[in-house]
Amino acid sequence: MNISWYSPLDPESSEIARYSAHLMPSLEQLATIVAVEDGSGGAANWWSPGADEAVAEKGVAPLPVYHIGNNPLHLPIYWRSLEEPGLVILHDLSLVDLARHLSHELGQPGLWKEQMCRQYGEEVRALVNRSENSVADYNEMLSRYPLFQPFIAGALGVVVHSRYARDALQRHLPSGTPLMQLNLPAAYSPETMVRAEVPERAKTAAQPGPVRFVFCGHVGPNRRLLQFMEAWGQLPEPAAICLDLFGNISNSRQLRQYAEHFGVADHIRLRGYVSDTELDEALHSADFAINLRWPTMGEASASQLRYWSAALPTLVSDVGWYSELPDEAVCKISVENEIPDLLAVLQDALASPARYREIGERGRQQLREAHSHSAYASELVALAERLVKGRLAYRMLDRDLVTIIASMCENDNDTRLFRDAIEVAVATVQPEG
């Protein structure tokens, strides 16, 4: 099985790149990876093929695997997927931001709006226009109209990481296109966790000092930090909590202003980007993690898996993929009652820390049981092999016969139905024996 892998390449700036780098050893045990590229011509510096001779001998064209997410890093990958259809791994259900970047790249900033109306009907235009000046309308648009359809239209097959995304795609994929849900693997192998022992904090009684919260990733409006700070500021003693922020902050000045408004600014540290080693140390010395998302982009969260690796109890929004997580392994926050729910959890965490350490340990167990690299790679390669067999079978069809049968169809609808039937047959081709 030969595969070309198209993914963001810089693990320092992309969780998908990090996932790719750590998945590769398991993948290479089952398939020949011909290339690892970002779609723009760049090749990964964390990967060395060494498989060219085997590929040449087999003489089988590799199946392209394209990683698509809601980030401009994925635009070159999308352009490449138009040249040669392949397997799409869809990391975000909502691709509105990707569509907006694409529109600007084409010099047509309003193109994404036209695509919105084309996909969902002219009645959405008013909401789309309002979304440019209203956060509430923008959030509503993202949750109701994710605009993923154009980015998967030509896919030979699609992989998603949540039931939420799978259910949405089932209504829009062309007939016969395989769709598979897999559990997102962590950005390292759970089978070989470096810190197999229980974090130190779980072995001792409650330690003096504030409860340490941690946040990792891009700080944007849908990460709900303002709402967290609002609830935090309502505690009788806000100094009982401190917060470390790791990653990119789109507007640090505004964040500071809100933190001062809620009376928590003195208890927040902006740490920026740090090495994996530093981040792991910070996570294992923390007590709690924040992973709120609203509106959800339909994503599965690599950050959540990393929090679980450190046995951290985690605040999550009760929507999308996060709703699918075991209730006993995370702290779910209702989006309809967000501030009161957050305040209640903060108060309870200060009063009963042992209860939340148990939640973190159950999360760690969930990671080990359900997010294996080897299982993910095995199912992914099985789907890739099925697609390759289907592609070969399609090429073996007598095109003259297809043309003759199609000419016998009385109208375009009959022709489309015939072609759909062929696609279904091809997609389900099984090996002999």
For residues 409 and 421, give the distance between their C-alpha atoms in angstroms, rounded to a whole number: 13
Residue partners of 341: CB distance under 8 A and separation at least 6: 333, 334
Which band of pLDDT confidence, cut at 50, 70 and 90, is reported for residue 136? confident
241-284: pLDDT as tens digits: 999 999 877 778 889 999 999 999 999 999 988 887 888 899 99
For residues 88 and 266, give the distance between their C-alpha atoms in angstroms, rounded to a whole number: 45
* Six token digits for residue 109: 């900033």
Domain range list for the chain: 2-95+148-185+373-397, 190-369
Look at 4-13, 106-115, 143-152, 185-194 and tell me which has the smallest mean pLDDT: 185-194
Helix, coil or strand: residue 243 = strand
Strand 63-68 with 87-90, pairing: parallel
The predicted pLDDT at position 360 comes to 96
For residues 21 and 44, give the distance between their C-alpha atoms in angstroms, rounded to a whole number: 9
Domains 2-95+148-185+373-397 and 190-369 share a fold: yes
Helix, coil or strand: residue 2 = strand
Question: Looking at the domain 2-95+148-185+373-397, which fold is it?
Answer: Rossmann fold (3.40.50)
- Considering only CA atoms, which of 167, 145, 152 is closest in space to residue 87? 152
Task: Assess whether pLDDT exceeds 90 at residue 304.
Answer: yes
Q: Which residues pair with 36 in a beta bridge?
A: 5
Which band of pLDDT confidence, cut at 50, 70 and 90, is reported for residue 53? very low
Task: Assess whether pLDDT exceeds 50 at residue 139.
Answer: yes
| CATH superfamily membership of 190-369 | Glycogen Phosphorylase B; (3.40.50.2000)
The predicted pLDDT at position 202 comes to 43
Task: Assess whether pLDDT exceeds 80 at residue 358.
Answer: yes
Phi then psi for 406, rounded to 5 degrees? -60, -35
Which band of pLDDT confidence, cut at 50, 70 and 90, is reported for residue 406? low
Residue partners of 40: CB distance under 8 A and separation at least 6: 76
Task: Assess whether pLDDT exceeds 60 at residue 417.
Answer: no
